[in-house]
Structures are given as structure tokens and as C-alpha cells.
Amino acid sequence: MRSITPDELAVVFESARSVIVVPGYGMAVAQAQYAVSDLAKLLLKRGIEVKYAIHPVAGRMPGHMNVLLAEANVPYDQLYEMEQINPYFAEADIALVVGANDVTNPAAKNNKSSPLYGMPILEVERAKSIIVLKRSMRPGFAGVDNDLYYNPKCMMLFGDAKESLNKLFSALK
């Protein structure tokens, strides 16, 4: 597991051409949907393509992420359901995971002994770089450690998602 600072992360974004934002319950808890939207607008101004990957059960109810992103005025045509977005991860320079834990865990595909095994997931592990915003290494709702966090392409930005995104936004300005 590798941690990264907002300033270091800003350097990673400098060479990006495409970013897929993966919102989850951590975004909801931190009320970070506006910070996510502001970051995306900045990236779009720089010519970076931004898409949002929506898992059908991310958050605490179906449609939870759609509602929060709509509240932050994220254009609906940037939202992609799981089946639509999964093929794009391999082309993405960065997958930015904002508090989505169980819905990004590769154990759902790779580990038959995992309680998540068989659950469809967002295939963020296919992106060139993976950035995860998370408060700690504690497991998600399912109580399962996320194998994604140990992927060599994954970097962890620890802290409250809203605060972390605001620091990243400032570092990118």
C-alpha cells in the first residue's frame, strides 16, 4: 500500500488525459459531491476527459450516487452505469475512487472464498493509475479488506474526502 499527498497527486494529474471518478459512500459521508464536481470542472477546463462510474448499489441505496452528483450539477451525460463504464477503465489514465470500497474490490472476481465473490464490480484495477480517497484502511460495509489497495498502481490519499479534494484542487490551481 502506498500513500500520496495532494501535492504529489497534482503531479500525477498533470499528465492525465482521461479520468474516471468512482463515487461511493465515503463521498456521501463527507458531503464531497461539490468538491468532486469542482475538481472535474477544473480538469475539463484543462482538456482532460472526465467520466463518472456509477455502481448500482454504491452508497446505501440504489441511485444514491446519481442523486448526490445531480445535486452538485454534474452533467448527466458524464454518468456511466457499471456495464457502460467498465470497458473504459483500461483507457483511463486515472481512476479516482472517492470512498467506494466493496464495489471496487477485485476479490469479487478473483477470490472464491470472499463473501463478495460473484458481485459485479467497477473494474478500476484496469486503469493506468488508481487513486483512492479514504479515511483509513478499515474495510467497507462488507467487512472485507480491499485487494485493490495493494495493487502496485494504487495510491492512497488518506483523510476526509471533501478536505482531500479541496487540497488537491488547490494544488492543481
Which residues belong to the active site?
102
Cell of 110: 478473483
CB-based contacts of 136, cutoff 8 Å, min separation 6: 158
Q: Is 45 helix (H, G, I), strand (E, B) or coil?
A: helix
Structure letter (DSSP) for residue 15: T
How far is Cα 17 from Cα 110, in angstroms, rounded to an integer?
Answer: 29
Q: 18-23 and 94-98: which strand pairing? A: parallel
By the 10 Å C-beta count (0-12 exposed, 13-18 middle, 19+ buried), 23 is classed as buried
